[in-house]
Structure 1
Amino acid sequence: MPDFKRFLFVILLVICHLAQAGTNGFGHNVLINNFISDMVKKYNFNADELKKLFAQVRRHQNILDAIARPAESKPWREYRPIFLTPDRLRGGLKFWQKNAATLQRAHKIFGVPEEIIVAIIGVETRYGKHAGRYPVIDALATLAFDYPPRSLFFRKELREYLLMTREEGLDPLQQKGSYAGAMGMPQFMPSSFRQYAIDFNGDGQRDLWHNPADVIGSVANYFKKHHWKKDQPIADQVSVRGDAYKKLLGANGQHLLKPHLSQQTLRAHGVSLPKGLPAGMKGSLIELEGKEGPEQWLVWPNFYVISQYNHSALYSMSVFQLSQQLRENRSGEE
C-alpha cells in the first residue's frame, strides 16, 4: 500500500509539472521549430542557440486575456481627460526643458514641431515612466504562437525583434515592453525600430529605453518618413451650417482620417474653413462627442500622419491637443 501511495504521489507530481509547463511554456513545438528553421535558413541564425533561447521564453496568459479583451469605446469627452492632465502637462514641460537643444535640432532636421514630439512621448509612456514591464520576447512569442487571430503579424514582429537584438548587440531576454511587444519611451514595435529608430547623439547605439536624444530623433524621423509637412496645419475646430455636413462623415461613427475632401466640397456642405489654408490641400471631417456637445473638426494631412502612429482619431486628437497645451505653456515660461 505505501508503494502504491508513493506511485500516486509521483504521478501527481508529473501531472502538476506538465500542467505548469503547459501554462507557462510553449507546447506548440511544431510552430516554434518551423519558426526556428525559417530564421536559420533565411537569416543565418544558429538553430541550437535559438532552441536554448526559446527554452527560456514564457507564455503569459494575462497577455492573451488583455489582447482578446474588446477595446473599450469611450466618447471623446471621457477619453480626453485620460491623456490631457496637469501631471502629463507638467511632465512634458519638464522633458522639453531638459531636452530643449535636442528637440530644436530634431525640428530643424526633420521639420516636426517640438511640441508634437514631446506630446507623442507623453501620451505613449508619460515620458518613459510607463514603458512596459513584460519581457518583449515573451510578449511576442505568446502572441505569435498562441493568438491565432494575429499570429502572422506577431511572428513577423518576433522575427524583426530577433534581427533587431542581433544588430544592436542586445540580450533578447532582457528587453522590456508592453503586452503587445511595443518598446521603449516611444513604444516602437520591432519592425518600426529597425526602420525608423536612429542614433541621434552619435554614440553608436539606438537606445529607445534610456536615451532621450535617440527617442526624440527617432520619433521625428518616423513622422518625416510618414510625410509630415513642415509648417502645415494639423486640425481646426470648425462651425457648420445645417445637416449637409453629416454626409461627409464616416458611416456608423467611423472616422475617415485620410484626407479626401476638397475645400470646395467642404464649403458646399456648410463647413466653415479657417483662413490661410494652402491652396488645394485636402482634409477630412470628423465629429467628436465633446463635453458641451458634438464638436466638428477638420483634420489635415499632418493629423493623418499622427494617426499612423496609432490608428485612432481620439488618440491623434489627444496628441494634437496635448501638443497645443505644451506649446502655450512653454511660450508662457519663455
Structure 2
Amino acid sequence: MRKMIKQCVFVTAAGLLGLNPALALDVSRYPVLVELVEIMSQEDGYPREELEAVLSSSKIDQQIIELMDRPYESLPWHRYRDLFIKESRIVRGVQFWQENQTILAAVEKEFGVPQAILVALIGVETHYGTRLGNRRVLDSLVTLSADYPRRSKFFTNELRTFLNTARRENIAANSVLGSYAGAIGIPQFMPSSYEAYSVDFNGNGRRDLVNEMEDAIGSVGNYLKVHGWTRGEAIFAPVTEDLPDAARDLVSKRSKLRHRTRDLADAGVVFDTRGGSDSAALFFLQQKSGKDHVVGYRNFYALTRYNTSINYAMAVTELSMQIARRMGG
C-alpha cells in the first residue's frame, strides 16, 4: 500500500499542513469522533494530538449522505440492468480480458473463480479500473461515521481501520481518494476488506489494489473464495414456470440461502437443479411488467457478500455471461 501515495489516486497533502483553523472540522461537536479518539489513543497507540489533527483536516459532506440514501441498487432490476449491461461495457470487458489473460487464468486456478466473473465484477465496480473515485476517503468515512446514524457503527469501524492502516504505512490519510462510501482501488475494497482479504498476488512484497492489476484481480478471487465461492458450481437458475401458491411464501427479498434446493423443487418451483448447491435462495427480479423469479445458489450468495444487493450480483453475473459469449466461451 506504501507505493500508492506516489500514484494517480493519491494527491499531496502538503496544502493541508497549513490548514486554516476556520476551515478545520470541530471534532468536539461529534460524539462519535470524540469516542473514536479516546478508543484509538488508548487501544491503538495512535497519538491523540496527531489523530485530532487528521480528523480536523476532514469535512462533513452532505452530498455523501444524499448519495447513500438513493443508491443505484434500490432501482428496479430493469432500470439497474440498463446501467451496466451495455454494449460499451461488454466490448471493454472483452478488451480487459484479452489484456489480462495471464493474470486472470492464474487467479482462476488459485481461487476457482471463473475469469468472466473476475472481469465483470471489476467492470461493474470501476469500469475495469478506470474510475476509482474522486472523493477523499477520509471525508467519506468521517461523514458517514459522524452524521449517518443508520450505519454509523459500521463506518466508524471502517474509519478506525483506515486511519490505523494509513499511519502504519506512512500515508497521509487525507490524501487517499476513493468512492463516496470510502471504498478504495480497482476492486473498491472497504478498508476492513483491504486489510482482511487483499493479497500480494504478484509477490512484490506489498498489497496494492490501486496501481497493480495482479493484486486487484487476485484479491477479488480471494474475497469470493473466502466468502463461499465454490469452483464449478452454478450461480443461479431461472424459474421457468409460474410459482404455485404453495411456493409464494418461500420468496425472499434477500439472497440468504434459506432453503434446501430439493425443498424448493418439491414445493413446485420449476428450475434447473443441475450444478447448483444443496442450499438456495428464491427471489425475484422486477421487470417493466411483472416479476421474474430466480433461484440463487451458493455462488450467487458469495457475490452478495461483495455487495448485498441482488441486483448487483445479477448484473455481475449477466455481464460475465455476455463477455464470455463474446470471448467464445
Normalised by the shorter chain, which TM-score bucket?
A: 0.7 to 0.9
Q: Does the residue aligned with 1:173 lie in a helix, a strand or coil? A: helix
Query: What residue is the counterpart of 1:262 in the other structure?
Result: 260
Cα separation, partners in 2 of 1:30 and 1:265, compared to 1, 3 Å: closer
Instruction: For 1:275-294, list aligned pairs within 5 A.
Output: 276-277=274-275, 281-290=278-287, 293-294=290-291
> What's 1:311 paired with?
308
Q: Deviations over 1:151-172 (max 9, x none)?
A: 2221111101012223434221
Count residues in correspondence.
309
**Higher RCO (CA-CA < 8 Å; seq separation 6+):** 2
Compared CA separation, residues 298 and 57, structure 1 to 2 (3 A): same
1:299 aligns with 2:296: yes
**Residues 186 and 76 of structure 1: CA distance in aligned 2, closer, same or farther (over 3 Å):** same
What are structure 1's unaligned runs of at least 5 residues? 1-16
Judged with a 3 Å threshold, the aligned counterparts in structure 2 of structure 1 residues 320 and 309 are, in CA distance, closer, same or farther, namely same
Range that drifts further, 283-292 or 103-112: 283-292
Aligned partner of 2:207 in structure 1 is 206
3-state SS, counterpart of residue 174 of structure 2: coil
In structure 2, what is the equivalent of residue 84 of structure 1? 85
Residue in structure 2 matched with residue 246 of structure 1 by the alignment: 248
2-side partners of 1:146 and 1:84: how far apart? 34
Q: What does 1:33-182 align with in structure 2 at a 5 Å threshold?
A: 33-69=34-70, 73-182=74-183
Aligned to 2:222: 221
CA distance in 2, matches of 1:276, 1:36: 53
Q: Distance in 1 between matches of 2:256 and 2:192?
A: 23
Offset from partner CA, 1:52-107 (integer Å, 9 cap, x none): 22232222222233224477742222221111011111221111111111111111
Distance 1:63 1:264, change over 3 A: closer
How far does residue 275 in structure 1 lie from its aligned partner after superposition?
5.6
The amino acid that maps onto 2:233 is Q
Residue type at the aligned position of 2:312 = Y
User: Structure 1 CA distance, aligned partners of 2:163 and 2:274?
Assistant: 48
Q: Distance in 2 between matches of 1:322 and 1:70?
A: 20
Provide the C-alpha distance between the structure 1 equivalents of 2:75 and 2:113, rounded to a whole number of angstroms.
29
In 2, Cα distance between equivalents of 1:142 and 1:264: 46
The verdict on how the C-alpha distance between 1:242 and 1:44 changes in structure 2, with shifts beyond 3 A counting, is: closer
Counterparts of 1:303 and 1:223 in 2: how far apart (Å)? Answer: 10
> Contact between 2:73 and 2:312, CA under 8 Å: does it hold in 1?
no
- Residue identity opposite 2:307 in structure 1: N
- Structure 2 CA distance for aligned equivalents of residues 190 and 233 of structure 1: 30
Q: Give the superposition deviation at 1:227.
A: 1.4
Query: Over the residues paired in the alignment, what is the CA RMSD in angstroms?
Result: 2.4
Give the conservation status (yes or no) of the 8 Å contact 2:30–2:146.
no
CA apart distance, 1:29: 6.1
| Distance in structure 1 (CA, Å) of the matches to 2:50 and 2:249 | 58
Q: AA paired with 2:311?
A: L
2:46 & 2:27 partners in 1: Cα distance?
Answer: 20
How far, CA to CA, are the matches of 1:308 and 1:66 in structure 2? 21
SS of 2:42's equivalent in the other structure is: helix
TM-score (norm 1): 0.85
What TM-score, normalized by structure 2, do the two folds share? Answer: 0.86
Equivalent position to 1:274, from 272, 279, 285: 272
Counterpart of 1:329? 326
Map Cα deviations across residues 293-326 of structure 1 (whole Å, 9 max, x no partner). Answer: 5322221111011011111111111011011111
- Which one has the largest radius of gyration? 1
